[in-house]
């Protein structure tokens, strides 16, 4: 019954910094199945964010293959990748990255501008997404009029509004207090459990990682251990 969503084979990622060549990944293999909730942990510089960027198609491996639902994405053009992201990936960032001049509803609507939905449909979808994150009463608020937790919930609504298969979260609770962080994490858990979203979450926080189904520990470009919930 398990279906592989992401399949990374022998992925290498090198950076050059000055004269030095840094090997972030040197033959990384990873499979992520549909419906999984993976937390990736590791110290700074271990390649967590690079891995997330490669999964999201905003960064490409130096060598190796990355497939999504059996199709290679590591050799797609920039334009094709943009299309692919628009349909398949929802991003959630540590600092929410909402547009400051747009209301919550407009922020959530952004990804729908990339679809062919009518204005009315878009509005409905936005309302559904905002209801799901429990912000139906905050639709006209600007980001600066909301708390960090609320902003992150708007960001989650934005990530799920176009109904992507995959959510990629980069330290989603890194800027939040414990209580709010738990709220956000529960919400992610719910999206994973009840809506079947596959989630990959990079985090520093062991408590946050506990919400995932499995935790991967990354160090110097290798998984050193794996815990399964």
Partner 1 sequence: MGDLYLVFKNLTRKKMRLALTLFATFIAFMIFGTISAFQSALDSGVELSADDRLITVNKINFTQPLPIAYYNRVRTVDGIVEVTHLNWFGGYYQDPKNFLPMMAVNENTFLKVYNELVLTDEEEAAWKGNRQGLIVGENAARQYGWKKGDRIPINSNIFSQKDGTTSWDFTIEAVYTGEQEQTDTSGLYFHYKYFNETQSFGGNYIGWMGVRTADPARNGEVIKAIDDMFVNSPFETETVPEKAFNQAFLAQIGNLGLILSSVIFAAFFIILVIVGNSMILAIRERTSEIAVLKTIGFKSGRIFAMVLSESIFLALMGGGLGLLASFGLIELFNGSGVAQLPTLVLKPHIIMQSLMFMLLLGGITGIFPAITAQRLNIISALSRH
For residues 61 and 74, the answer to whether their CB atoms sit within 8 Å is yes
Q: Does 36 bind partner 1 (CB under 8 A)?
A: no
For residues 105 and 158, the answer to whether their CB atoms sit within 8 Å is no
Using the minimum distance from each CB to partner 1, give the nearer residue, 32 or 92: 92
| CA angle at 108 for the pair 106 and 112, rounded to the nearest 5° | 95
* Rounded Cα–Cα distance for residues 209 and 127 (Å): 30
Q: Does 12 bind partner 1 (CB under 8 A)?
A: no
Q: Does 59 bind partner 1 (CB under 8 A)?
A: yes
In angstroms, give the least distance from the CB of 121 to partner 1: 13
Q: Does 79 bind partner 1 (CB under 8 A)?
A: yes
Q: Does 110 bind partner 1 (CB under 8 A)?
A: yes
Q: Does 69 bind partner 1 (CB under 8 A)?
A: no
Site string for partner 1, 147-176 (x = CB under 8 A): -----------x------------------
Using the minimum distance from each CB to partner 1, give the nearer residue, 109 or 183: 109
* Rounded Cα–Cα distance for residues 132 and 127 (Å): 9
Place of tokens 């989630």: 199
Q: Does 102 bind partner 1 (CB under 8 A)?
A: yes
Burial of 147 (0-12, 13-18, 19+ CB in 10 A): exposed
Site string for partner 1, 117-146 (x = CB under 8 A): --x--x------------------------
Question: Which CA distances in Å does 174 have to 19, 127, 145, 148, 170?
Answer: 33, 27, 20, 11, 9
- Which range, of 108-116, 133-141, 189-197, 213-221, touches partner 1 by CB under 8 A? 108-116
Provide the token pair at 131: 């209801």
Provide the token pair at 104: 């919550």
Q: Does 86 bind partner 1 (CB under 8 A)?
A: yes
Residues that bind partner 1 (CB under 8 A): 49, 53, 56, 58-59, 78-79, 82-87, 89, 91, 93-95, 97, 99-102, 106, 109-111, 113-114, 119, 122, 158
């Amino acid at each position: 019954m398990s279906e592989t969503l992401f399949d990374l084979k022998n992925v290498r990622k090198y950076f050059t910094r000055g004269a030095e060549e840094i090997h972030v990944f040197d033959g990384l293999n990873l499979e992520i199945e549909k419906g999984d909730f993976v937390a990736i942990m590791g110290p700074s510089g271990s390649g967590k964010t690079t891995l997330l960027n490669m999964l999201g198609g905003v960064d490409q491996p130096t060598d190796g293959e990355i497939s999504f639902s059996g199709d290679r994405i590591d050799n797609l053009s920039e334009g094709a990748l943009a299309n692919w992201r628009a349909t398949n990936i929802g991003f959630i960032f540590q600092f929410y990255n909402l547009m400051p001049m747009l209301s919550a509803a407009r922020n959530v609507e952004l990804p729908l501008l990339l679809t062919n939905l009518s204005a009315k449909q878009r509005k409905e979808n936005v309302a559904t997404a905002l209801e799901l994150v429990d912000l139906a009463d905050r639709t006209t608020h600007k980001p600066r009029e909301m708390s960090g937790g609320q902003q992150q919930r708007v960001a989650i609504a934005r990530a799920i509004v176009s109904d992507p298969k995959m959510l990629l979260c980069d330290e989603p609770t890194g800027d939040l207090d414990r209580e709010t962080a738990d709220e956000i994490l529960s919400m992610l858990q719910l999206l994973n459990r009840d809506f079947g979203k596959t989630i990959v979450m990079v985090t520093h926080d062991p408590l946050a990682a506990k919400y995932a189904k499995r935790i991967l520990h990354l160090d110097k470009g290798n998984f050193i251990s794996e815990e399964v919930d």
